[in-house]
Amino acid sequence: METYLRSGKKFQYIGLAAIILFLFIYGFIWISQQLSEIDIKRFDRVVITLAQSAITPQKTEWMLGITFLGSVGWLTFIVCALVIVLLLKKKLALALFYVCSSGIGALFNMLLKWLFKRERPDILPIISEEGYSFPSGHSMGSFIFFGSLAYLIIHLVHRKSLQWAAVIINSIIILLIGFSRIYLGVHYPSDIVGGFLAGGAWLLICIILFRYYEYRKDL
C-alpha cells in the first residue's frame, strides 16, 4: 500500500512538472512569435509609460540598487559563494545543480538573444545597456537564481512557514528586478515576460534532473 501511494505521488509530481514546463515553453514560443505584432507593441508602450510615469531621483536610485541584484557580476559572485559553501557542507549534487542552472542558463540567454536580435527600446532610457533585448538577461538570470534559491531552502528546511517565506520573498525580488528594467528603460515588458518564461523553463528542467538524480541515488 505504501509503495502504491509513493508511486501515485511520484506520477502526480511528474505530471504537474510536465504541465508547468509545457506552459513555460509554450508561453515563451507564443510571445516570441508576437514581438512584431501591434498588440504586443501597444502592451509594451502602455506598460513602459505607466512604469516611467513618476520618475524621481530617489526612485531611480532604488531601481538601480534593485537591478544590481540581477546583474551578471553580482549573480556570478553569489553563485560562486553558494557553491563553495555547499561543497564545504559536502552537498556536491546541490553545488552542481547551482552551477548548471545559473551557468548554463546564462549561456542559454546569450544564445536566445543572438537568435532573436531584438533591439532595445528607445523610450526614455535612464541608463544605457549594450547587446540585444529579448529575452531580458536580468529577468531570466534572476528567475533562475532566486528561484533555485527558493528551491534550495525548500529542499533543506522542513518548516512550512520558512518554505513559504522563501517562495514569497524570492518571488518579490524577481518581480522587482523585472520591473526595474522597464523603469530604467532598457527592456520592453515583453522582454521581461520572455525572460521569466525562459528562466522558468530552464530552472524546472534543472530541478527535474536533480530530483531524478536523487531518486536514482536512493534506489
- 57-103 residue pLDDT tens: 888 899 999 999 999 889 999 999 989 998 998 888 888 888 889 88
Question: Domain containing 50: what range?
Answer: 2-218
This prediction has a pTM of 0.87
Neighbours of 63 (CB within 10 A): 22
Residue that the C-alpha cell 542559454 belongs to: 108
Report how far apart, in Å, the C-alpha atoms of 118 and of each of 7, 12, 133, 152, 199 are: 45, 39, 5, 34, 18
CA distance 147 to 54: 30
| Residue 159, phi then psi, degrees to nearest 5 | -80, 125
CA distance 155 to 78: 19
Please give the average per-residue pLDDT across 138-149, as a whole number. Answer: 93
The three cell numbers of residue 188 are 520592453
DSSP-H helix ranges across the chain: 2-33, 38-51, 57-68, 72-88, 92-98, 105-116, 137-156, 160-183, 189-218
Number of domains in the chain: 1
Residue 2 banded pLDDT, cuts 50, 70, 90: very low
82, 86, 91, 93 alpha-carbon torsion, rounded to 10°: 30
Residue 218 banded pLDDT, cuts 50, 70, 90: low
CA distance 95 to 88: 10
94, 95, 99, 101 alpha-carbon torsion, rounded to 10°: 10
pLDDT of residue 123: 73
Position 124 pLDDT exceeds 80: no
pLDDT of residue 9: 58
The pLDDT mean for the chain works out to: 86
Position 6 pLDDT exceeds 60: no
